[in-house]
Structure 1
Amino acid sequence: MTRRLFITSTLATSAIAGQTNAENPAFAPAPFRVKAGDARFGVHTPFRGVNTNDVKISGKDTNNQLAVFEYIGKEKIGPVLHMHHDQDEIFSIIEGEYLFQIGTEQFTAKAGDTVFAPRGVPHTWLQVSEHGRQVYMVQPAGQLEDFFLKFTELQGPPSEEQIRQLHKAHGMTVLGPPLALK
């Protein structure tokens, strides 16, 4: 390897490492595997008490840079229209079909599709197939993991006010109801 290439490679690697660990230079994640059907720390957070919605990669694993969730839908439901103030959200549809609304645009996403919802843009989705599965990510991780834990702790269905307060406490704003099947 030439000296110039070595120096360039070293500087580039240092810059990348500095970006990913800028908040905590001592942070060094360890590799791990989360088996199918498991949640990262063994705590399941079912969406609306029904559909699987498990953390697969926690913000604790990534110095709060990224969180990854797996959603397995048995019922045709989806979240309220909401907006993340500080997080981008990326959905990868593994199985089934979903109706998405990002901003004012509505479209269908099917297995193999990827959907990007930038921070600051209202969005929601509705599972329209009998069964659905998606992996979705938020970047940075923010407080979404804690948001789902708090919902899971509630006794019974939350009121509209509880929904608004939980969203607000975790960096999101509720802007409207969920999508409905026509």
Structure 2
Amino acid sequence: MHNIPGKIANGADRYKDAVHFLNGRFDCKVSAADTSGAMCIFDTFRDKIGGPPLHYHELQDEWFMVLQGDFLFQVGEERYRLAPGDSIFGPRMVPHAFRNLTIPARLLIVYSPALKMEAFFRAGLGPDSAASAEFEALHKEHNIINVGPPLSAEHEDM
């Protein structure tokens, strides 16, 4: 049975409890509880330049859509610039990373299946935790394997 949340306003979280993780705020729009675990959707608001390390998900596909700002993405060996309205797919087991190039920036992210991504983001790791043992342990616990550093400013010239 699905849990139907009703309308979720722009700038609001599904549970009225937005999460802060690394370089931004993550509003859950569709929860795993809403879809029997099939997917979850986050609207993310980036308030600092940056992004996650190059990583892959062992058990999940990830889809991204830029809502505001400009982003650089890497999926596999290829790099792409994305602007508002552009989207890109990150299949499971394929390394990917992104870097927002502007502030503000906003990115919609869909995880399928949802697994425990809500718990992952609720860990609330701040921007200074990206190279910590806690950061690596959290990733491994959620079947996310980091395989390289985040995209940096030098990657922006493409």
TM-score by length of 2: 0.89
The one-letter amino acid paired with 1:181 is A
The one-letter amino acid paired with 1:131 is P
Structure 2 CA distance, aligned partners of 1:45 and 1:167?
17
Q: Greater relative contact order: 1 or 2 (C-alpha under 8 angstroms, separation 6 or more)?
A: 2
Q: Could you list the runs of 5+ residues in structure 1 that have no partner in the other structure?
A: 1-26
Say what the alpha-carbon RMSD is for the aligned residues.
1.7
Match runs of 1:1-182 below 5 Å:
27-48=1-22, 50-150=23-123, 152=124, 157-158=128-129, 159-182=131-154
Structure 2 CA distance, aligned partners of 1:179 and 1:155?
18
Deviations 1:4-55 (A, max 9, x none): xxxxxxxxxxxxxxxxxxxxxxx1332512112221112221132x522111
CA deviation after TM superposition for structure 1 residue 127, in Å: 0.3
* Aligned pairs, number: 153
From the two aligned structures, give the one with the greater strand fraction.
2
Structure 2 CA distance, aligned partners of 1:106 and 1:172?
20
Q: Does structure 2 conserve the Cα–Cα contact (< 8 Å) formed by 1:143 and 1:171?
A: no
Q: Could you list the runs of 5+ residues in structure 2 that have no partner in the other structure?
A: none
Structure 2 CA distance, aligned partners of 1:130 and 1:155?
18
CA deviation after TM superposition for structure 1 residue 164, in Å: 1.1
Structure with the greater alpha carbon radius of gyration = 1
More divergent stretch after superposition (62-71 vs 28-37): 28-37
Identity across aligned pairs (percent)?
31
Partner SS, residue 46 of structure 1:
strand
TM-score by length of 1: 0.78
From the two aligned structures, give the one with the greater helix fraction.
1
Partner SS, residue 99 of structure 1:
strand
The one-letter amino acid paired with 1:101 is Q
